[in-house]
Amino acid sequence: MQPTEPAQPQSQQMKSLSFSSQMSREDEEMARSALSAFRAKEDEIEKRKMEVRERVKAQLGRVEEETRRLANIREELETMADPMRKEVSLVRKKIDSVNKELKPLGATVQKKEREYKEALDTFNEKNREKVQLITKLMEMGQLVGESEKLRLKKLEELSKSIETE
């Protein structure tokens, strides 16, 4: 019985070896197919990563180009706006300086206008006085003339009366 016993484990070992070699061939095939599937998926993932990288790079390139364009446009606008700002500020400064000069001149003009009105009023008043004095003078001249006539008449009468005596 002993010799059959060792034969049995050997046959079992053989069966188990053949089973295990079959298993390992199946396992190897499964492992290979799993590995190839894994590699295929990994390749697909890598391919997608590269596509996404390329799209991101392209988008970044477009964004950088647009940024450069915007910077150029901003510079152009600033160069356009700056001269206008400078000119406007210069004009405002000139206006302010002219206003500062005009304020005392305006006050002087108002003062001179008042003085002119006062002088004109004084002139008109003196003119009226002159007219009144001339009128009085003329009246007096008439009175003097009449008085002279009366005196001459009296003198003539006196002289007649002296001659007749």
Residue-level pLDDT at 126: 94
Which one-letter DSSP state was computed for residue 3?
Answer: T
Distance CA 65, CA 59 (A): 10
Please report, for residues 33, 140, 150, 157, 164, the alpha-carbon distance to residue 154 in angstroms, rounded to integers and kept in the order given.
172, 20, 6, 5, 15
Reported pTM:
0.37
Residue-level pLDDT at 12: 54
Distance CA 72, CA 36 (A): 53
**Ranges of the chain whose pLDDT falls below 70:** 1-23, 81, 83, 165
Residue-level pLDDT at 155: 87
